[in-house]
Structure 1
Amino acid sequence: MARRSATHVKHDASFLGIFKSSKVAFAFGLIIMDALLVALIITYVPYTKIDWDAYMSQVSGFLEGERDYSNLKGDTGPLVYPAGFLYVYSAIQYITGGEVYSAQIFFAFLYLINLGIVLFVYVKTDVLPWWGLSLLCLSKRVHSIFVLRLFNDCFAMTFLHAALALLLDQRWHLGLIIFSVAVSIKMNVLLYAPPLFLLLLKALGIFGVISTLASAALVQILFGFPFLISHPVAYVSRAFNLGRVFIHFWSVNFKFVPEPVFVSKGFAISLLTTHLVVLAAFSHYRWCKHEGGLLNFLHSRYVAMKMKFAGLSSSNSSSRILKKEHIVTTMFAGNFIGIVCARSLHYQFYLWYFYSLPYLLWRTPFPTLLRLILFMGVELCWNVYPSNIYSSLLLLCLHLVILYGLWSAPTEYPYVDDKPTTKKNK
């Protein structure tokens, strides 16, 4: 009883210490100021009609009983998102009555919730200086994506950031469930899957990895169940279509590539190959450096699994506590590699990695001035409309410079200590 009391006192003191820190106070101030800015945007900047009507048409078909994904369509074409999208926007339609202004207010609150979660992650990792947190509030394009466009990317990334916040507290099962919810809204979240899987192997034993992945898979099955039991092929082929070819005109990152090359299968395969090679290189030389490289790490996991099944090791002998900075760096960098190698980035896709940019820039060895120039350069490219040869080429160059900075940065030991943890995975 006395031990429990001492633990509570310790947690309370830690919480009060964090709350009283100047960085947390500054973060709260940013949320308040950004709330005022968002209110002004909704009041004075005209709403831009893009996908909202299509979303509402697709949701209406679902609510009317349609379960064949090939028949769920809108003004912009057929539905191409997993079932979680339908549940989220069905709830929004119910709450807002399908009215744009009410939806904008709803998305304003979503924006602030997402910002609060991201600031929590940044404060917990303590990578940026206090003033650097303001960069998270300075994107014209991101404000537009949330309250003037109402894209589903907003929900997907909010759930992703919530999952990341849970991982920082070593809550791997719940974090994977929320991660799977994010995937069910938009598949771009799968860019985080390779680094997340690597972190799971580092943090958990074999049974922990299997159970967390099973939890994530169960979410997809439950969400897709009404469609899987009626028209499974239509659902899987449309909701998880990895072979979509986007329109060249809307590409922000590869506009300088001639359209015949842009839409070719060879270009897609070359980018995928590059993606996999760069991921493997970062995994081997950066993320698993202290384990002797990727192959040595995987071999050690294999040996641990064999010993476990042979009854020669305890159930939690492979469980270890990862440093918060290692979790966030691996997740953000892994996603960024996917962004660099993506065939087409549309304007709303900026949300896929904007909130990781300040963190990634401060993980590079670059001087602060160069970090700010890179940040402003990326923001500038995303606000050129329509994109052109020069803006897209500049964006690619900026991405490559940031990627080089991440590659050349010193690696840090990934674990809190050298001792296996007996902490129960939640």
Structure 2
Amino acid sequence: MAASMAKKEGSMFSISLLKRFLFDPDSSWMIMILLLLAEVAVNVVVIDKVKYTEIDWIAYMQEVGGVLNGTYDYMKLKGDTGPLVYPAGFVYIYSFFYYVTEKGTDLKTGQYIFAALYLLTLIVVFDIYRHTRKVPPYMYVFMCCTSYRIHSIFILRLFNDPVAMLLLYMSVALFLRDHWMVGCLFYSLGVSVKMNLLLFAPAVFLLLMIRHGTLGTILRLAICAVTQLSLGFPFLMENPVGYISRAFDLGRQFFFKWTVNWRFLPEEIFLNRNFHVALLAGHVLLLVVFFIIKWRKLFPSTLFGFFMKNRTRNFSPDQIILPLFTANFIGVSFSRSLHYQFYVWYFHTLHYLLCSTSLPGVLRILVLGLIELCWNTYPSTAMSSATLHCCHAVVIGGLLLNFRSDKKTE
């Protein structure tokens, strides 16, 4: 009888331990360590066994090679895929890659650098999520082990999007620690690699105004501006109009053949400027709706206005992460076009956003799976594009209708 009771208690203990391992956010560190170790092996195997596919790497090397050869006029810098269209931070970072990979010819070294960037991105994202205590451990499995596309973007394509996103996540980690000046520096460095980080800007501005007031916000925005001017200085001195028009071209037209999100539209509508204006209007309108209905509830004691005073209390993790990740997600959802490498713009935020809704766990996993399927459908189809929009609508609807952190946090 005693042996039977001991066996039963042992079984119950094992089940309890398993539940804690899979579902208790406070126990996430265990699965994080295991997944990081697994990812080291996965990245090495992929680099060794999976064929590298050239898309933009050679063009990147040609573009920065022009700079290293003494050309600072952005109107004269180009590669096989077209003109250089990224800000100066991209040039400096990929110039480093240019040197350490023997002018881009040593692909293995480049791939291992991006494998390190991938692992560092996971570590920073894990750190961000650890602060929230909201994402159950089992969700990290879907973040690490199920996305072929994300691994491909990092180590088989060597795109600049992951570099920009790593700097963004580092800035968020700094914001969580109340290091806003350094965080703004890293945010601006990320923007200097690729402009997609401007999708976070409305939430960054909102948080700065609430935390540091109007004067403090001006100071921190000045840090962002000085960073951009310092990095772009040699190019601004050579041809300021050329640099700004190329590196910060918000009206750049995309090719229909690469779109992931608008395949179900006729090409003439996809290219129509009125359609682009409608998307921008929808983007701005939804940001305003979230601010009025949701984000203000995160700061119930705040008086919003043109001139605001700084607050003495630090933010809670949700007060920082929810507006930032939601603003970016809205921007991605209303993008004029999404290309396959753009998946990394929001992939690592999806798990947190879904856990910020009251959607059932099964539905969250289904949405993650369908989004992954859409991004792995090549070439995209009308069905994959429509499904992607439906998944985006489910996430936005879940966030809009039920923020789990609508509870008072002050």
Is the shorter-chain TM-score for this pair beyond 0.5, marking a shared fold?
Answer: yes
1:180 aligned partner: 188
Deviation, structure 1 residue 290: 5.4
Match runs of 1:61-72 below 5 Å:
61-72=66-77
Return closer, same or farther for 1:363/1:411 CA change in 2, 3 Å cut-off.
closer
Deviations 1:310-340 (A, max 9, x none): xxxxxx5x34311111211111001000011
Residue 246 of structure 1 aligns with an amino acid whose one-letter code is F
Q: Which moved more, 1:277-286 or 1:206-215?
A: 206-215
Distance 1:331 1:156 in 2: 15
Q: CA deviation at 1:292?
A: 6.5
Answer yes or no: is the 8 Å Cα contact 1:127–1:362 preserved in 2.
yes
Structure 2 residue 29 is the aligned partner of structure 1 residue 24: yes
Which of 41, 44, 59 is 1:39 aligned to?
A: 44
Q: Do residues 89 (structure 1) and 82 (structure 2) align?
A: no
Task: Give yes or no for contact 2:298–2:409 (8 Å, CA) kept in 1.
Answer: no
Structure 1 residue 203: Cα displacement = 1.0
Matching residue of 2:174: 166
Corresponding residue pairs, total: 383
Q: Is the 8 A contact 1:323 1:415 kept in 2?
A: no
What code does the residue aligned with 2:139 have? G
Alignment partner of 1:350 is 2:356: no
Q: 2:261 aligns with which of 253, 256, 279?
A: 253
CA distance in 1, matches of 2:234, 2:408: 42
1:400 aligns with 2:393: yes
Query: Structure 1 residue 125 and structure 2 residue 118: aligned?
Result: no
Q: Give 1:142 shift.
A: 0.2
Distance 1:165 1:375 in 2: 24
TM-score (norm 2): 0.90
- In 1, distance between residues paired with 2:170 and 2:345? 14
Alignment pair present for 1:328 and 2:321: yes
Q: Comparing 181-190 with 203-212, which one deviates more in the overlay?
A: 203-212
Quote how far apart the aligned CAs of 1:22 are.
Answer: 3.2
The 1:274/1:52 distance shift into structure 2, 3 A limit, reads: same
Q: Is the 8 A contact 1:320 1:415 kept in 2?
A: no
1:309 — aligned with what?
none
Matched, 1:140 2:148: yes
Q: Shift in Å at residue 41 of structure 1? A: 0.5
Partner of 1:372: 365
Contact residue 69 and residue 231 of structure 1 kept, 8 A: yes
Alignment of 1:4-19 (within 5 A): none
Q: Which of 118, 122, 126 is the matching residue for 1:111?
A: 118
Paired with 1:265 and 1:36, the residues of 2 have a C-alpha distance of 47
For structure 2, the residue ranges without an aligned partner over 5 or more in a row are 1-25
For 1:213, the equivalent position in structure 2 comes to: 221
CA positional deviation for 1:135: 1.7
- Structure 1 residues 358 and 390: alpha-carbon distance in aligned structure 2, compared to 1, 3 A threshold: same
How many angstroms apart in 2 are the aligned matches of 1:278 and 1:159? Answer: 26
State the shift of 1:25 in Å.
2.4
Deviation at 1:151, TM superposition (A): 0.1
Contact 1:160 1:178 (C-alpha < 8 Å) held by counterparts: yes
1:28 CA drift (Å):
1.4
Check the 8 A contact 1:145/1:154 in 2, yes or no.
Answer: yes
* CA deviation map 1:276-335 (0-9, x unaligned): 000000011100135579xx8432x52x46xxxxxxxxxx5x343111112111110010
Partner of residue 4, structure 2: none
1:259-291 Cα shifts (integer Å, max 9, x gaps): 000001000000000000000000111001355
* Residue in structure 1 matched with residue 197 of structure 2 by the alignment: 189
**Mapped partners of 2:386, 2:288: distance in 1:** 25
Once the two structures are TM-superposed, the CA of residue 141 in structure 1 deviates from its matched residue by 0.2
Contact kept, 8 Å, 2:358 with 2:404, in 1: the verdict is no
The answer to which of 90-99 and 224-233 deviates more is 90-99
- Once the two structures are superposed, the pairs formed by residues 253-292 of structure 1 within 5 Å of their partners are 253-289=261-297
Please report how far the alpha carbon of residue 411 of structure 1 lies from its aligned counterpart in structure 2 after TM superposition.
5.9
Counterparts of 1:387 and 1:196, CA distance in 2: 33
203-212 or 189-198, which deviates more? 203-212
* More moved, 206-215 vs 108-117: 206-215
User: In 2, Cα distance between the equivalents of 1:157 and 1:415?
Assistant: 30
Kindly indicate whether the alpha-carbon contact (under 8 Å) linking 1:27 and 1:119 is maintained by their aligned counterparts in 2. Answer: yes
2:108 matched residue in structure 1: 101
Match of 2:352 in 1: 359
Identity of aligned residues (%): 43
SS at match of 1:374: helix
**Does the 8 Å CA contact 2:356/2:404 hold for their aligned counterparts?**
no
Task: Supply the distance in 1 between the matched residues of 2:113 and 2:226 (Cα, whole angstroms).
Answer: 29
Q: Secondary structure at the match of 1:298?
A: coil
Question: Which amino acid in structure 2 is aligned with residue 111 of structure 1?
Answer: Y
- Whether 1:298 and 2:304 are equivalent positions in the alignment is yes
How many Å separate the matches in 2 of 1:259 and 1:227?
36
The alpha-carbon distance between structure 1 residues 258 and 297, as it changes in their structure 2 partners (threshold 3 A), is farther
Q: Matches of 1:42 and 1:172 in 2, distance apart?
A: 37
Against the structure 1 CA distance between its residues 410 and 103, is the aligned structure 2 distance closer, same or farther, given a 3 Å change threshold?
Answer: closer
Question: For 1:397 and 1:187, how far apart are their aligned partners in 2?
Answer: 26
1:29-57: CA deviation from partner (whole Å, max 9, x where unpaired): 11110110111110110000000100000
| Distance in structure 1 (CA, Å) of the matches to 2:407 and 2:95 | 42
Does the 8 A contact of 1:321 with 1:416 survive in 2? no
